[in-house]
Amino acid sequence: MSNPQTSSSSAPERGFSDEEFAGRTERCQTAMAEAGISALMVCTEPEVRYFTGFHTPFWQSPTRPWFTVIPASGKPIAIIPGIGGALMRSTWIDDVRTWSSPQPEDDGVTLLVDCLRELTAEGGRVGVPMGPETHLRMPLNDVDKVRAAVGDFVDATDIIVNLRMVKSEAEIAKHRHICRLVSNAFDELPNLLSVGMTERQAFAAFRGEILRQGADDVPYLVGATGPGGIDDIIRQPSDRPIDAGDLLIFDTGSTYDGYFSDFDRNFAFSHAEQDAFDAYRAVWEATEAGLEAAKPGATTTEIFTAMNEVLKANGSLGNDVGRMGHGLGMQVTEWPSHTASDDTVIQENMVLTLEPGLLWAPGKAMVHEENIVVRAHGAELLSRRAAPEMVVI
Amino acid sequence: MSNPQTSSSSAPERGFSDEEFAGRTERCQTAMAEAGISALMVCTEPEVRYFTGFHTPFWQSPTRPWFTVIPASGKPIAIIPGIGGALMRSTWIDDVRTWSSPQPEDDGVTLLVDCLRELTAEGGRVGVPMGPETHLRMPLNDVDKVRAAVGDFVDATDIIVNLRMVKSEAEIAKHRHICRLVSNAFDELPNLLSVGMTERQAFAAFRGEILRQGADDVPYLVGATGPGGIDDIIRQPSDRPIDAGDLLIFDTGSTYDGYFSDFDRNFAFSHAEQDAFDAYRAVWEATEAGLEAAKPGATTTEIFTAMNEVLKANGSLGNDVGRMGHGLGMQVTEWPSHTASDDTVIQENMVLTLEPGLLWAPGKAMVHEENIVVRAHGAELLSRRAAPEMVVI
């Protein structure tokens, strides 16, 4: 495996070329043709952004639905609230259909149905992602109205998953950049944190440092401290002061140009028991096994097993996470999952996390996470590899 | 109307009392009984948090569904992935049912169906929010499986809307606090920004200042600069340098303890044309009319009309926003909307934005926004009232 520090440290360009969007759309259309789908409808932020480049935090507002439809050939069609018209017209998309929203009695439904009918008039079905890790960001009443008008949807989850799981070099460059910035911020942590600070102050210092390094945003930041160990890794900070002998975990999903990093680090304050050092070493070694296993042609299940064998040999009591890593992209977690039964075949240019978790004593969890891109020869680190021994602050 | 600066400036307590959650649940159950619903299912972050207090950014990960079911009586029931078990058990909820997720073949569906069947065995239907501004955060395939097992859902949108639209004093205190912090940050802007900075640097400076003031996060930040006017208010920053004669808008939804502020401010750099000052004054005056109109018993349509009359008198060319403000809460926008036909009756303790937008020349928009809580006597400002004349930096 190779190391990211050798790459240039300048920030990659924002956005993508029109060719990138055209390639995504054409690959989608090839898969649609095989599945008998002549109109594929998406309506979540990453899916709309993937095909159009439309990028705004306006999705924070749940009020208005946004639709993009991929026809059998030609560019995607955007069917969106008027407030987004100017921004969508600045993308590579030509056909932008807007309505004045919010309009509860018909919030884009007629425009969407008209478009879907038009595209399926000569045959072919309407495809929609309906499977694992998807949802429709529109009222269920409106889903029902659209189905009543255009017929049952074909499940297009696999088409979207297969497209998004494999990243382009331009996407990988964004991942590499945000992983470098967050690695820098983690490296600064021993200078920022000290016994006596509250968890909340520690969170604020870390968030501030990630932004100072140049990240656009820190949408995901969880962590906890605890005497000698940590029982819950998805918590928000409390006003608990950090004490000597505490362990700390920070896990962050930060973004650059809409692409995520997602890795964590564990630290001790002042001192730690040997069993905590041993648990740290076990998840670090498990990650080594994952790095070895992550090659094109292997499966997510083989990656899981490689890591799990190391954890079992180190006395794992199991864990509640349900997997040992996942895909990474425009969302902090994406398909696939490293589980005992996922069995997704690893392909070149997948961006993945390796995340072995060890319950080393009741109520004491140690979770370790790195980010990689899979190359022909195997794993290439995007995050800067954690120290093999737990750092004591 | 009264001014927020008179309140204490200390941060309100985190979380809510068990009594607050019990009150929410009981009010929900009263409405459920009237609607013949014996099990109400919710599955989005704000809805689950509203009833349980479960608060984590882990929702950023789309992988796992999370469910909460309100029975006809007694505490809500949480049906969630194992990774959230410890955190959910730390809330006021007693009945926490978990499974090992992700598990694509049955990601909580059996547990959910069993719970819904149990609660409807003696009669009563399953209620689910299916209307405007809602969605189900679970795969459509799983929605269909649940409906096939328990029968058609009753639309429970109104129950949720009526509960969430009216805030408790504890919720209002969180809104007031974040609005004060963001008001402070806006007041600092003239010291932070200058001609020659890029939009991106200006954004980073403002985000940093909001966090420095004590906000937990800045999930929503949009804005733009433009020579003499601004054409798009939902953009992300570019590398465009700010020039003398530019106008700037920043609009942010920032959070404290999971509650949002949502207001904007407009500035000019070095100088501006008289028509820009006039447009600013028009939206400021329109907001005054909105503040006067926002009283218990009035309607959102009356608030809209009051603001729109001022804009029309100032030569408005219309706008693409589709409304002139909205509810505010755990989401940056919530029900209701100030539109020409919304007609929601304003009640005491609604937290609202007033957001008149003026297209004063082709491609030149001026949007102004304030946050209020409606009291018996009328509007009480939560944001610090913008200056009546546009500030020049």
pLDDT of residue A3: 40
- Asked if residue A362 has pLDDT above 90, the reply is no
Determine contact, residues B220/A56, Cβ cutoff 8 Å. no
Chain A environment of B127 (Cβ under 8 Å):
none
Which DSSP category does B237 fall into? P
Inter-chain residue contact A84 with B140, CB threshold 8 Å: no
% of chain A residues with pLDDT over 70 = 97
pLDDT > 90 fraction of chain B, expressed in percent and rounded: 90
Mutation site, A63, A98, A136, A222, interface B, largest B CB count within 10 A: A63
| Position B185 pLDDT exceeds 60 | yes
Span A3-28, average pLDDT: 82
Record: contact B339-A253, CB cut-off 8 A? no
> H-helix or E-strand containing B50?
helix B45-52
CATH of domain A168-392: 3.90.230.10
Q: Are B247 and B279 in contact (CB under 8 A)?
A: no
Q: What is the mean pLDDT of residues B373-380?
A: 98
Task: Choose, out of B41, B48, B133, the residue to mutate when testing the contact with A (most A CBs < 10 Å).
Answer: B133
Tell me: the pLDDT tens digits for A198-245? 999 999 999 999 999 999 999 999 988 999 888 877 888 999 999 999
Distance CA A373, CA A194 (A): 34
Q: Across residues A150-169, what is the average pLDDT?
A: 98
Q: Taking the C-alpha atoms of B138, B143, B144 and B149 in order, what is their torsion angle to the nearest 10 degrees? A: 140
Q: At what angle do helices B18-35 and B157-165 cross, to 10 degrees?
A: 140
3-state SS class at B187: helix
Please list the residue range(s) of chain A that carry CATH number 3.40.350.10.
18-164
Spatial neighbors of A259 by CB under 8 A, at least 6 apart, are A171, A174, A175, A178, A329, A330
Inter-chain touch B134–A140, beta carbons under 8 Å: yes
- Looking at residue A8, what is its pLDDT? 44
A320 contact residues in B (CB cutoff 8 A): 81-83, 85-86, 98, 100
Sheet holding B378-381, edge to edge: B334-337, B326-327, B351-354, B370-375, B378-381
For the cut 70, the answer to whether the pLDDT of residue B106 exceeds it is yes
pLDDT at B296 over 70: yes
> Which of these, A326, A323, A328, A320, lies nearest to A308 by C-alpha position?
A323
Question: Concatenated DSSP letters for A156-219?
Answer: -HHHHHHHHHBPPHHHHHHHHHHHHHHHHHHHHHHHH--TT-BHHHHHHHHHHHHHHHT-SEEE
Residue A353: pLDDT over 80: yes
Give pLDDT, residue B321: 74
pLDDT at position A114 over 90: yes
CB contact under 8 A, A320 and B58: no
Q: Which two tokens stand for residue B213?
A: 């003031």
Mean model confidence pLDDT for chain B = 94
For the segment(s) A18-164, the CATH number from 3.50.50.60, 3.40.50.10310, 2.60.40.10, 3.40.350.10 is 3.40.350.10
The whole-angstrom distance between A109's CA and the closest CA on chain B is 12
Grade residue A4 by pLDDT with cuts at 50, 70 and 90.
very low
* Residue length of chain B: 393
Per-residue pLDDT of B253-278, as tens digits, reads: 999 999 999 999 999 999 999 999 99
Mean pLDDT of chain A: 94
Instruction: Provide Rg for chain B, Cα atoms.
Output: 23
Residues near A388 by Cβ (< 8 Å), separated by ≥ 6?
Answer: A281, A284
Asked if pLDDT for residue B390 goes beyond 80, the answer is yes
pTM, rounded to two decimals: 0.95
The ipTM of this complex is: 0.95
Length of chain A (residues): 393
- Where exactly does CATH 3.90.230.10 map onto chain A? 168-392
Strand pairing partners for A381? A372
> Cα separations (Å) of A98 from A39, A108, B92, B161, B236?
19, 8, 44, 27, 20
What does the pLDDT read at residue A202? Answer: 95
Q: What SS3 state is found at A35?
A: helix
Q: Is the pLDDT of residue B346 over 70?
A: yes
CA distance B62 to B59: 7
* Per-residue pLDDT, A71: 98
Distance CA A211, CA A188 (A): 13
A-B interface: how many C-beta pairs under 8 angstroms?
Answer: 191
Closest A-chain CA to B144? A130
